[in-house]
Structure 1
Amino acid sequence: MSLNSIYLAGGVAALLLFGACTKQVKNDAQDLSVARASTEEAAPDPNGLRLHQFLRANGPALERFDVVMQEGVTVRTKSGKTYNIGRNALVKPDGSPATGTITLYIKEVSNAAGMIFADKPTATSAGQPLESFGEFYVAAKQGSVDLKLRPDSGVRVQAPAPKVNADRIPMWNGDTTITMDLSGYNYVNQLITVSTTVSANKGVDWTQVTNPASAFALFNGSNGTLNFRLDSLMTWVNCDRLMSNPNPKTTVLGYFASNYNPATGTSYVGEEPTMLFFKPAGINSVIKFYNTIFTPPAGFEGFLSYQNSIPIGQAGTFLAISSIGGQFYAEQKDVVIPAPPAGQNYTTFTFNPAPVTSAQLIALITSMNTK
C-alpha cells in the first residue's frame, strides 16, 4: 500500500461503510515483518499505531523453523501441533521445486486473548459469529525468496483438540484487506474510477473454504486431534464452526461516554485507536465491533454490531480499549444481552474506559480467556 492510498483511505471513510467492496488476499506483512518493511503499514494516527504495535508485541509470536527439504519435512510447534509438507510441495516463483535449506514461519491463534492481541476476531464475512478451534498462518522462504505451494499440494496439520460434537469442522480463509473502487475527476476533468486496497478494520474477513480437499477439519477420536490441509501460504486459515444460538437476534450499539479517540472513524488502515470486543461466555470466540457510529453527538461515539446479529440472552464480556495522547484506557464489562426496549430495534451499552498501565491492559486481555 502506498502512502497516498493511506491518506485516500482516510478521506473516504463513509464510502467504506456503505460502498460495495470485494475481497483480496494479501500477504500478512505484520506477521512476516522479518521480511517486509513496515513503513507502508503505518497508521495516520500515532495513537492507533502505538496501540496496535503494543498488541502485536504482546500477542502470539511467529515460530521459526530452519529445515532441509529433501523427502519432505514435519515440524512441531510449541502448542503441540504438527505441520507436514511433502516432497516437492514447495516451489519457487518460477514453479521449480524448492530444495535444500528453507525457513518456515508459523503463527497460531488459539484463544480469546490471542484473537484480541493479533486482531483476528471470529466472524464470517456476513457477520455470523464463529466458535474457533484455531487460526493458522504459515509462510516459507528460501533466502529472501517467498515460496509457494504446488497447486495440487498442501500443508497437512494435526492439532490436538478437545472432544467436539461433530466429525468435521468447517475451514475458513482469511482476508486482511478489502479492495474498493473510487470515482473522481482527473486533471483534465474526466470522470475516472480507480481501485485501491486498504486493510480491513474488522481485522480479518473469514470466508468458508470451497475446495473439497481442504473444506473441513476431520476429528480423530482415537487420538483427540483435528486433521486438515492448508492450500496456500501467507494467508490466514481458521478452523471454526458457526455458533448455534437459536435466540432472536438484536443489533448492539456500544457508546463511549468518555475516552473515545475520534481518529477511529477515519483510521481505515487496520490501526484504529479505539476498539471494542465482545466474547460470548464459555465459547472460544471474539466478536469485534468495527463499524463506527455515523455522525454521533457527543457522548454517543462508538461502534455497532452487524444488524440483528447478537443473540438476545447471550451472556458475555465486553472489552473496550482506547489510546489517546500516549495513554491507554480500558474497561471490561460482563453483560447479558437484553431485548431492545419497546419501540426500539437495538440494544445499547455505555463504556467509560479508565486509564490503565501496559501491564494492566495485558492482564485484562489475558483474562478474556476465562470469560
Structure 2
Amino acid sequence: MPEQEPRQRRRKVTLACEPCRERKARCDGVKPLCSTCRRRSLGIEQCVYKVGNARTACSDDYTKALHERIRRLEQVCALHGIDPDALPDAPNEQPVNTQSQAQLDAIVMGTSQGQTLTPLSSAANEGMESSNNSRRVTAMGTTTVEEDIGQSHDTTQSFYGSSSAASFLKEACGTVNPPLSCQTSINPQVATSEPPSLYSGIEKLVLPPRPLADHLKERYFQQVYYLYPLFDKEAFEHAYESLWLPSGQASSPEEYRDLGLGEDATTIAFYSSLNAIFALGCIFSDLSTAAKTTAYEVFFNRSKQNIGLDLLDMNDLSAVQTLLLVALVLQGTPFPERCWNAVGVACRMAQGLGLHTMPKYDAQESRVRQIRRRTWHGCVVLDT
C-alpha cells in the first residue's frame, strides 16, 4: 500500500473575496481570481477583495497606532537630545539614584543644593504639631480631637451625619463611660499612635530660582486660577512670600486660619501644591519648548512625591485643595485614571469635612465659608 502524502494544511488568509465571504466558502486569497471563483466560472470583475472588513481594519488601526506611538517617542528623544540607537541594552532595571536625580533637577532648574525649604520657626513647628495632633484619624476613619472617644467630638473638622457608625459609637460611649473625673488618665502615646510628621523629609524640599518661581506663579494666576479659584489667593501669596524670608521672620496671621492653602507654608500640602502650580505655570510660560518640557516634568515629579498617606492623614481643607491642583496637572498627561482617582479622593475627603452641606450662598458670608464653598465647587466641576 503506497504511503499517503501528508495532507497540506489550508493556508489562512486575512482577506477573502466578496463572493467567498457571502457564501462562507473557503478562499485561498489568490489574486486576481481565487480558486473557488475559478471553479464557479466567475469573472475577475466579480472576484473582488474589499479591504474594509473588520479584521483587516482592526489590524491596520493597531499597526498605525504603534507607528504613531513610536514616532512620538522618537520626537521626545530628539527633543531631549537622546539618540535611541546609541543607548545600550539594559537587561535589568536599575534602581533610580535619588541623589543623582536631585543633582539633575538642580542643574536643570538652576537651583543649588543648599537652597531648601526649612521650618519658619520652632514656634510654628510646635503649633503645627499641636494642630496635627488635634485631627487624628482613628482606625474607624473618624476624625477625633480628644484622646478618648468618650469625650466631646469636634464636629467642625469632620462630617459623618447623625446616622453614621461614628455618631452611634460616640453616643454609646457617652452613655456607658463614667464621668471624666472618675476615669483614670490614659497615656496619649499608648492610646493613639502619632501620625507622620508634616515635616518628614523637609530637607529635600527645594525651590527654583526666585525669578523663575515668580514667573511661573504669575502665569498660573493669569491663566488658570480664575477658572478654578480653589484657595484664597491673598493667603497663598503671603505664605509664598514667607518661603523667601530667613527662618523665624515669617508669621501666620490669624485672618488666614482655616483657609487651607496659605495657612502655613511649611506643610507637605503647600509644597506639593506649589510645585503643581509651577507645573501648570510652565504650560503658559515663556520658556523654550525643551526647557518647558523639562521643567514641567521636574515640578510634577516633586509635587507627586508627597501625594500619599502622609497627605491624607492631614484630613483638612489644604489636602483637598492639593489633590484638586494635582488633578488639574494630571488632566494634561496620558493617565486619565490617575486624574479620576485624585478627584475621587478629593471628593471623599471634602464630604468628610462637610463641604457638601454648605448652606445657600450669602453675599455676607465669612471668608472661610467662601473658600470652603469654592473648594467643593472645584470638586464638582472636576468630577463631571
What TM bracket, shorter-length normalisation?
A: under 0.3
TM-score normalized by the length of structure 2: 0.21
Higher relative contact order (CA 8 A, sep 6+): 1
Structure with bigger strand share is 1
User: What TM-score do the two structures reach when normalised by structure 1?
Assistant: 0.22
Give the helix-richer structure, 1 or 2: 2
